[in-house]
Amino acid sequence: MLTRLVHMLPPRVRAFLRRIPVLVWLYRWARRGHLTRDRNALLGLIVITAALAISAPASQTWFSPSAVVLTVLAGGLILRLRSLGVLLGVVAAALVYDAVAVGFHKVGPGVIATIVVTAVLAIVLARSRQQLGVKGLRGEQMLLELRDRLRRHGEMPSLPKGWDAKVVLLQAGGSSFGGDFVVSVCDGKTLEVALVDVSGKGVDAGTRALMLSGAFGGLLGSVEPGRFLPACNDYLHRQRWDEGFVTAVHLVIDLTTGEYVVESAGHPPAVQFDAGSGTWQVSTAKGIVLGVVAQMSTSPERGTLRRGDAMLLYTDGLVEAPGRDLDAGIDRLLGATERLVPNGFGEGAEELVAEMAASRDDDCALVLIWRK
């Protein structure tokens, strides 16, 4: 860009500029190496800062000395940390010039404090970008893309006629990231669903959940159903994490016969709704949390979902509360689900999760699968 601008100048002007050693050095410096864009951006911001400083004495209405705060903010978004330091030096020199030209009362403590605070924020932003190796707001865009990927993993695949499902994820504090996630796969004959709870909540657990959702999603459907949780356990052992534990519940349903197998790894028990008796039955499937022991084993439970039956999977954020027994929380959840039965399981699931999570500061997730 800088080269194009120079070539747009008349030949006589270019010849005159070549006689000025400082300008020649700046031109060569701006074009040198792989940091050309950063240098060009720095030169552009320096020019703008100088223009604002020179124009301030002429019209303080349009060119206030505090206007240089915009170049500081722009520098924090697009410059490397070292280049930002150069820009801040230029800004300081511009403020000194304005103070001398228009009077020290026009560049008072308020203006200086505003620019200093903005400079600190710009340095923090530039340092964070430099660590990530991204420019501008690309880091935030990457987080949004990762969030969308996690949400896509949580979407239930299309089910054949006679089956339906509902997935509700509610992250702590209204965050876009959390430690609860769902992975599922369906080939038209068999449905596999895994609901996973990573210890922690909100953004703190979100980074590990993002990584695990990809790993567990790749294992689901690629290994034998009976090997899914052991394979997840092996994966976690290879990571050698010290940040906490992971629980999961794995459900496999034959969509032709309705037969199912549910396995748990330290997760709250799944519950089945029996349309014949109109009651909820708590699963007896048990297992050790993932990543604790090298060789894990589970006690799966088998059963059959008939027409009108449903299977409910959930995380501890819906049922656990300080000072309360887990069984009491499960009873409260099942009591709240009673109103879903007359209106259909798909109605009110989101309101149910919001009601159960209203008094808790934890990630919550619910997966409801039913046979019509």
H helices of 156-256, in order, are: 202-219, 228-239
Same domain, 189 and 60: no
Q: Can you give the pLDDT at residue 362?
A: 75
What's the CA gap between 370 and 372, in Å, rounded?
A: 6
Helix, strand or coil, per DSSP, at residue 82: helix
Q: Can you give the pLDDT at residue 331?
A: 85
Q: What is the CA radius of gyration of the chain?
A: 30
Domain total in the chain: 2
Confidence of residue 34 (pLDDT cuts 50, 70, 90): very low
* 8 A C-beta contact, residue 75 and residue 49: no
What's the CA gap between 8 and 227, in Å, rounded?
A: 68
* Element of type H or E holding 117: helix 109-132
Is residue 250's pLDDT more than 80? yes
**Three-state SS across 252-284?**
EEECCCCEEEEEEECCCCCEEEECCCCEEEECC
Same domain, 132 and 154: no
- Looking only at the bridges linking them, the beta strands covering 286-287 and 279-282 are unpaired
Same domain, 196 and 291: yes
Is residue 287's pLDDT more than 80? yes
Same domain, 225 and 332: yes
Instruction: Give the CATH number, domain containing residue 324.
Output: 3.60.40.10
Same domain, 225 and 365: yes
Q: In what order do the strands lie in the sheet with 301-304?
A: 180-186, 190-198, 246-254, 259-265, 301-304
Same domain, 212 and 113: no
Summarize pLDDT for 155-200 with one digit per residue, the tens.
Answer: 788 999 999 999 988 876 666 667 788 999 999 899 999 999 987 6
Q: Indicate whether 6 belongs to any domain.
A: no
45: closest CA among 95, 3, 5, 83?
A: 83
Q: Indicate whether 67 belongs to any domain.
A: yes
Is residue 73's pLDDT more than 60? yes
Same domain, 213 and 101: no
Q: Which residues pair with 181 in a beta bridge?
A: 196
Tokens of 191: 């449905």
Q: Which residues contact 133 (CB under 8 A, 6 or more apart)?
A: none
Tokens of 166: 């509902």
What's the CA gap between 208 and 210, in Å, rounded?
A: 5
* N residues, the chain: 372
* Number of other CB atoms surrounding residue 63 within 10 Å: 19
Q: What is the mean pLDDT of residues 25-47?
A: 68
* Number of other CB atoms surrounding residue 145 within 10 Å: 10
Same domain, 114 and 211: no
280: closest CA among 270, 268, 295?
A: 270
Q: Indicate whether 78 belongs to any domain.
A: yes
Q: Indicate whether 22 belongs to any domain.
A: no
Same domain, 177 and 312: yes
Name the E strands within 296-355: 298-299, 301-304, 310-314
Same domain, 283 and 225: yes
Rounded-to-5 percentages of helix, strand, coil across the chain: 50, 20, 30
Residue 70 belongs to domain spanning = 32-136
Q: What is the mean pLDDT of residues 109-120?
A: 84
Is residue 6's pLDDT more than 80? no
